[in-house]
Amino acid sequence: MSQSRRSLLILGASLAATLTLAACGGGGTAAGSGQGGAVQDGAVPVVASTNVYGDIAKEIGGEHVSVHSIISKAGADPHGYEANAQDKLAVSKAVIGIENGGGYDDFFSQLSKGLLTDAEIVNVSSLSGLDTGADFNEHVWYSLPTMAKLADELAARFSAELPAEKASFTAQAESFKAKLDVLDTRLAALHKTPRTVAMTEPAPAYLLEQAGFSNTTPEEFTQAVENGSDAPASVVTALKEQLASGTVDLLAYNQQTESPQTEEVKAAAEAAGVPVADFSETLPPGSSYLDWMGANISSLEKAAALVKAGSR
């Protein structure tokens, strides 16, 4: 993601107003140099940048964690999030923080400054082991192997805070990873047949790659969408022609970066009979991470079936 997109953070007066609140917030002092909270009533207080990671923390921690997800509304854009007093208070009470990293949720480092040390924060991009260089795709929650690593990391951290519950945390992490394995199997079945995909924005790229879809989107188009700007008209035309040519098996559509140009591309795909799969960056209402990923894979399976049947 480009720097211009990553820097759309307006903490401003609302964050400044929270500093006094944070100073008088409840909770003891966590181990280390941060000024965060402490385990209370047998539950580890956790703060996550988005509900994606909040849900996974609940899956691993169960009743022995209390989780606050800063961004939890469907359609919210983490790139331009504005912090509030409730968020600062949640961070002040937390023992463990979870951030995506990679420039995706920079607001979290601002919120946690002086309250949680780097050692008390799980940076999922760093944990992933993926290449985090200049072309890094920071949407790592679409990488199922990375989420398996996160499950183990959270189980270890929760166990360090509540040693008596280590067996429970370990078992819940193993259960979560077993369900990921089922999703991996479905993706492996799709991967046996190479297919092509165009994307309005590369959020689901890791999942699509694991399913055997190769990206044919003009790079200038996805870069423009990520930057919140318009792509050159010639690039949009080239993408629309590509969709009309019959060489693209799927359009992956990010609903949270929708614009007139992406809507134009979506209309072109529908007119050409190219299946459109909607993807998002936060959990849909009432869904869990595993159910959400399962639904995303179902969309890919449906698209693959249409291609096989020659009905597009």
CB-CB neighbours of 58 under 10 Å? 20
Q: Tell me which of 3.30.9.10, 3.30.70.60, 3.40.50.1980, 4.10.910.10 is the CATH number of domain 3-185.
A: 3.40.50.1980
Instruction: Identify whether the C-beta of residue 280 lies closer than 8 Å to the C-beta of residue 256.
Output: yes
- CB-CB contact of 303 with 92 (8 Å): no
What pLDDT is recorded for position 308?
56
Dist CA 128 CA 51 (whole Å): 18
Whose CA is closest to 137, among 206, 184, 76?
206
Q: Measure the CA–CA gap between 79 and 186, rounded to whole angstroms.
A: 31
Three-class DSSP labels, the chain = CCHHHHCCCCCHHHHHHHHHHHHCCCCCCCCCCCCCCCCECCEEEEEEEEHHHHHHHHHHHHHHEEEEEEECCCCCCHHHCCCCHHHHHHHHHCCEEEECCCCCCCHHHHHHCCCCCHHHEEEHHHHHCCCCCCCCCCCHHHCHHHHHHHHHHHHHHHHHHCHHHHHHHHHHHHHHHHHHHHHHHHHHHHHCCCEEEEECCCCCHHHHHHCCEEECCCHHHHHHHHHCCCCCHHHHHHHHHHHHCCCCCEEEEEHHHCCHHHHHHHHHHHHHCCCEEEECCCCCCCCCHHHHHHHHHHHHHHHHHHHHHCCC
Q: Read off the tokens for 244.
A: 């009309």
Q: Which residues contact 24 (CB under 8 A, 6 or more apart)?
A: none
The full length of the chain comes to 312
- Digits of tens for pLDDT over the chain (312 positions)? 444 344 333 333 333 333 333 333 333 333 344 556 788 788 999 999 999 999 999 999 999 999 999 998 766 677 778 778 889 999 999 999 999 999 999 999 999 999 999 999 999 999 999 998 888 999 999 999 999 999 999 999 999 999 999 999 999 999 999 999 999 999 999 999 999 999 999 999 999 999 999 999 999 999 899 888 999 999 999 999 999 999 999 999 998 889 999 999 999 999 999 999 999 999 999 999 999 999 999 999 999 988 655 554
Distance of CA 70 to the CA centre of its chain: 13
- Tell me the one-letter amino acid at 36: G
CATH assignment, 193-309: 3.40.50.1980
pLDDT of residue 244: 97
Give, rounded to a whole angstrom, the gap between the first and last alpha carbons of the chain.
32
Residue at token pair 């992956």 = 252
* Intervals of CATH 3.40.50.1980 along the chain: 3-185, 193-309
**CA neighbours within 13 Å on the CB side: how many for 202?**
26
Q: Are 21 and 88 in contact (CB under 8 A)?
A: yes
